[in-house]
C-alpha cells in the first residue's frame, strides 16, 4: 500500500508547511492508531487512523494533482530550469517532479506564486479572459503623484504596445509605497506602468492572486499546500 510521511499528511490536511506540521508532531499532538507519535518522517497509509488534537485526518497518498503557494524569494527565476540562476523549483526540493510555476515574477520580485502540476488549473489562473486580480506592493524611487490613481484607473499606454492597460486600482500607503491591483499580466507590467509616468520601482512584492493572500508567516523561500477551498477558487 502507498504511504506518505506523517508531516506531509498534516500539511495536506491543514494547508500548513511541513515545518509547522513537524512542530505539531513533536509537541505530541498527533496520534497514529491511538498512539502518540513524535516522528515526522513516520510513513502512514490510508489504513492508519491519524488524529491531531482529536480531529481525524485524511491520509491521501495519491500525490497528483498538487497545488502549492510559494513565497518566491528575490534572486530565483520563475521557471523549472535555468542555466544561470536557481529556480523557484529549488524551493520545493522535497516534492517530486512534474511541478511548474503558474505565471511569472521577475528575478528581483518576491512574493506569492502558485506551483502545480495541473495545467488546466494553471490556465484558469492565468487566462487573460478571466482577468484574475493580482495585488502588488511596490516601493518607488520618487514620491507618488496622487493623480496617478486616476491615470491608472483609466489605463496607460505602455511603450511598444497598441492597447492601454486595463483599469488598475492604486492605493497610496506612504509617499513612496503603494499597493496596485492589476487584472492582466503583461511583461514587467507593474514596473512599466510606473516607468510610463516617470517613476521607478525599486522593490516589488506580490501579495495576492485572485483572493488568495500571501500569509504573513510564510517567509521568502517557504511554501505550503493550497487548501481545497483555495484550489476551488479557480
H-type helices in the chain, by residue range?
6-14, 18-26, 119-126, 148-154, 189-195, 228-232
Q: In angstroms, what is the minimal distance from the CB of 165 to ligand URA? A: 11
Catalytic-role residue among 39, 48, 82, 106:
106
Q: In angstroms, what is the minimal distance from the CB of 206 to ligand URA? A: 6
State the Cα–Cα distance between residues 57 and 9, nearest whole angstrom: 8
Q: Does 189 bind ligand URA (CB under 6 A)?
A: yes
Q: Which stretch binds ligand URA (CB under 6 A): 30-38, 62-70, 89-97, 183-191?
A: 183-191
Binding-site size, ligand URA (CB under 6 A): 8
Residue 157 CB partners (closer than 8 Å, separation 6+): 163, 164, 165, 196
Q: Does 188 bind ligand URA (CB under 6 A)?
A: yes
Q: Which is nearer to ligand URA, 66 or 206 (CB)?
A: 206
DSSP string, 88-114: GGGGGTTS-SS-EEES---TTEEEEEE
CA angle 125, 127, 131 (to 5 degrees): 80
Q: Let me know if 53 is a catalytic residue.
A: no
- Within 97-156, the residues that bind ligand URA by CB under 6 A are 105-106, 109
Q: Which is nearer to ligand URA, 107 or 151 (CB)?
A: 107
Q: Which is nearer to ligand URA, 55 or 163 (CB)?
A: 163
Judged by phi (left if over 0) then psi (alpha if -120 to 50, else beta), residue 28 lies in left
The residue from 72, 191, 205, 224 that contacts ligand URA (CB under 6 A) is 191
Number of H helices, E strands in the chain: 6, 15
Place of cell 513516520: 42
State the Cα–Cα distance between residues 183 and 155, nearest whole angstrom: 11
Q: Which is nearer to ligand URA, 26 or 183 (CB)?
A: 183
The residue from 69, 102, 158, 204 that contacts ligand URA (CB under 6 A) is 204
Q: Which residues are marked as active site?
A: 106
Binding site for ligand URA (CB under 6 A): 105-106, 109, 188-191, 204
Amino acid at each position: 500500500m502507498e504511504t506518505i510521511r506523517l508531516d506531509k499528511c498534516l500539511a495536506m490536511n491543514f494547508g500548513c508547511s511541513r515545518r509547522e506540521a513537524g512542530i505539531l508532531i513533536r509537541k505530541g499532538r498527533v496520534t497514529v492508531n491511538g498512539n502518540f507519535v513524535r516522528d515526522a518522517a513516520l510513513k502512514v497509509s490510508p489504513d492508519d487512523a491519524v488524529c491531531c488534537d482529536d480531529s481525524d485526518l485524511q491520509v491521501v497518498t495519491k500525490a497528483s494533482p498538487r497545488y502549492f503557494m510559494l513565497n518566491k524569494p528575490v534572486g530565483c527565476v520563475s521557471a523549472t530550469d535555468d542555466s544561470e540562476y536557481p529556480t523557484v523549483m529549488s524551493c520545493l526540493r522535497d516534492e517530486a517532479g512534474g511541478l511548474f510555476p503558474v505565471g511569472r515574477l521577475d528575478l528581483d520580485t518576491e512574493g506569492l506564486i502558485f506551483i502545480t502540476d495541473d495545467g488546466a488549473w494553471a490556465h484558469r489562473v492565468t487566462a487573460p479572459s478571466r482577468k484574475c486580480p493580482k495585488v502588488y506592493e511596490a516601493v518607488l524611487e520618487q514620491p507618488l503623484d496622487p493623480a496617478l490613481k486616476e491615470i491608472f484607473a483609466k489605463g496607460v499606454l505602455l511603450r511598444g504596445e497598441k492597447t492601454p492597460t486595463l483599469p488598475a486600482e492604486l492605493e497610496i500607503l506612504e509617499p513612496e509605497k503603494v499597493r496596485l491591483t492589476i487584472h492582466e499580466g503583461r511583461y514587467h507590467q507593474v514596473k512599466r506602468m510606473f516607468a510610463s509616468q516617470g517613476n521607478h520601482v525599486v522593490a516589488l512584492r506580490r501579495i495576492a492572486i485572485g483572493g488568495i493572500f500571501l500569509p504573513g508567516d510564510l517567509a521568502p523561500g517557504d511554501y505550503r499546500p493550497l487548501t481545497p477551498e483555495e484550489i476551488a477558487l479557480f
